[in-house]
Structure 1
């Protein structure tokens, strides 16, 4: 695991948060109680969501108006809204010791990887001082890591399938209200024409090459909660078989070779109508990028592995954390609490994790704020979100990204036809165990 020595050194030696006057004329103090000058505090907020989508200026202006003496600088590190590219830039910033205060993460896996690297500050003492329990205040909260929490849940995103309703109508197919991955395969086959594929699965192997595994109600990661390997689970090989059948056997999903060679993207494939279905998360209700759909988007619940299974879906969402190097940790925490509660509701773009939010009202606001509200089939969207229960989540080990990197490399050899499934699974199990052993 890469360590950011310079960043950690700065975090250890830097003076802690300096007091700034709040909107209530009450002093704000840092962890060590030191007071600030009368100067203005500027919080550097790093993320990957551009202004067109995030509408940060308006929401930040509201916070600044309510908290004189605090300024928030929105810093999207990438232009393409790709969180993977964002994390590359974030790691470069961290290794260079660049200043930041609040960091956004797309999921707990990417957060945990950076805990041991010394990038983020525990927030448990802040929540205790405020007297809140994260699990009572937020949905999709995550387990503590070594007894500490390192971020506040922001979005509540749910796994679902977005579908081109015009393509469904042309094929004489109803919007699914409860279905399995076998049903998904049949839909993909019936939706495929000379003009478009029925399905698209992107290059994120922990999602698109693990569809059956992550659909399990529990034990749904490649490692178990106790740190042992779960690579031998039948749903791991089942996930690979599903993808291979869709792309290489039935040719009803965009072939992996094309995805790589043409550098295809799920937004481009779906909104250009080159693909009829994409299993994805509910952030796509509003995050269309530069596209405005020319068709109605239908939404189906996350498919089950078998008809007898309970309807569940992977749920998670973005988190926000305090940078270890921040000199304004209390102010950073205060901003995070507001952003993950009143702020995200005010923003009106994403479904919040905050339990006190009026979700129906938020959903209406979200859709009405898009470039084309009529493009969202509201009845199917609401059903896809409320008809499923969350799958169990765990705090993954910090080396989970290393495991998924090795997993993805073997998956690609399989999907590209360079090795068979048995060889692929043996290699996956061997490499996953080796990484676990190396980190004991």
Structure 2
């Protein structure tokens, strides 16, 4: 065997392989240089998805608002989830928050509910964001939602409670649309005159029951100068008596017990003409504008919640601001949630105006909100009273009592309206339970 010849052949083969490998390497390098995006370009940013919980049905505006945002913000997408704004629904929300079920933003409908969530550590202190002045944007009523002198949620809408009126029924009875300073006595007289056959004169939405009592207390204060309960103020007594008389003496108002057990759909009975007046809020607009499910042949007018007495000093109307949106401190996308929330508050929520939710930000277009609210149904409303009452300017209050006190008072007044205890005992027990709470929670 010629060893020398074989060795040269092997060396030649190795050189050929080396050149080939070098050419391959050089080719790959050249290709990479010619197309830098193939290896050095950053990957496309993945869209962030925020979940927002609210009590308004999606089809009544929230979904349209979210869709508007999503169309313009592909990097931050929002998903809307509805919870029913009742005890069971709020418990569901609280459970989801405390068990970290992926909620980024949520809506609070009562100060008591917000305070409870602050105490549970599920509402973010918004003072960490420095680019939005809530007091300037929302006005002086916003401060009612401060807890420990801080905002843990952003108020987004004007709260309005008022009396809905069947104007056709008023005209038939020869009654004028009430003046802005009408009283509980006036309400009782109107209800008696408007009761006809099976039609009630007046019905109070179950959520609006405290309006008369809170309105009576708001001017005088929920506590006295010495720090004790004022829930037995004489004007409060008068409010209880008036409602009791409408139920049992005039029979112009449904019994509270029947209303609770039957789960009376008060908005539906008003829109069907089964009650001439309804004490409620702006949320009824989403039904009154739904002519398909709630067709009606009468015009709707509006009145303020009546004062208890005409000479009542410092009377305040139930209202202020509402729909307070909080950010969950456990959200992984707090900055993105804040960006969406600012947009929503400053006008992004406008689609909700058709259901009566009027934006409270000074940057929102109120005229546009009125147009959306009335839509094609303008002729079915008494626009003059709507502008005076729904868009009027009055001294308002936001109920500031703790949820435990609100619940205790409700338990006591239900006994009174069910004829289970006297008015004296009702007020005495309410005051005692309020004082017990105040004593246990001294600052």
TM-score interval w.r.t. the shorter chain? 0.7 to 0.9
Q: Distance in 2 between matches of 1:226 and 1:42?
A: 51
Q: Secondary structure at the match of 2:52?
A: strand
Cα pair 1:247 1:253 within 8 Å, conserved: yes
Describe the shift of the 1:347–1:279 C-alpha distance in structure 2 as closer, same or farther (beyond 3 A).
Answer: closer
Report how many aligned residue pairs link the two structures.
Answer: 390
Q: Distance in 2 between matches of 1:325 and 1:224?
A: 40
Describe the shift of the 1:219–1:357 C-alpha distance in structure 2 as closer, same or farther (beyond 3 A).
Answer: farther
Moved more, 100-109 or 136-145: 136-145
Alignment gaps of 5+ in structure 1: 1-35
- Asked if residue 403 in structure 1 is aligned to residue 408 in structure 2, the reply is no
What is the match of residue 90 of structure 1?
A: 93
* TM-score normalized with structure 2 length: 0.81
- Asked if residue 159 in structure 1 is aligned to residue 166 in structure 2, the reply is no
Q: Distance in 2 between matches of 1:217 and 1:327?
A: 40
Q: Distance in 2 between matches of 1:195 and 1:296?
A: 20
- Structure 1 runs (4+) greater than 6 angstroms displaced: 224-227
Alignment gaps of 5+ in structure 2: 1-42
Q: Distance in 2 between matches of 1:339 and 1:85?
A: 27
Match of 1:192 among 192, 195, 208: 195
What is the match of residue 16 of structure 1?
A: none
* TM-score normalized with structure 1 length: 0.81
1:367 deviation in Å?
A: 1.2
Deviation string 1:295-342 (CA, Å, 9 cap, x unpaired) is 211111232233345775221321111012211111111111111112
Which structure has the larger Rg over C-alpha atoms? Answer: 2
Cα pair 2:239 2:308 within 8 Å, conserved: no
What is the match of residue 38 of structure 1?
A: 45
What is the match of residue 380 of structure 2?
A: 375
What is the match of residue 336 of structure 2?
A: 331
- Asked if residue 274 in structure 1 is aligned to residue 278 in structure 2, the reply is no
Moved more, 310-319 or 140-149: 310-319
Q: Distance in 1 between matches of 2:220 and 2:283?
A: 24
What is the match of residue 4 of structure 1?
A: none
1:88 deviation in Å?
A: 2.6
Q: Distance in 1 between matches of 2:382 and 2:170?
A: 13
- Asked if residue 180 in structure 1 is aligned to residue 180 in structure 2, the reply is no
What is the match of residue 323 of structure 2?
A: 318
Describe the shift of the 1:308–1:227 C-alpha distance in structure 2 as closer, same or farther (beyond 3 A).
Answer: closer
Q: Distance in 1 between matches of 2:57 and 2:49?
A: 20
Match of 1:51 among 50, 53, 58: 58
1:238 deviation in Å?
A: 2.3
More helix by share: 2
1:84 deviation in Å?
A: 4.1
Describe the shift of the 1:142–1:294 C-alpha distance in structure 2 as closer, same or farther (beyond 3 A).
Answer: farther
Match of 1:427 among 429, 433, 439: 429
Cα pair 2:317 2:397 within 8 Å, conserved: no
1:219 deviation in Å?
A: 4.3
What is the RMSD computed on CA atoms of the aligned residues? 2.5
Describe the shift of the 1:283–1:261 C-alpha distance in structure 2 as closer, same or farther (beyond 3 A).
Answer: closer
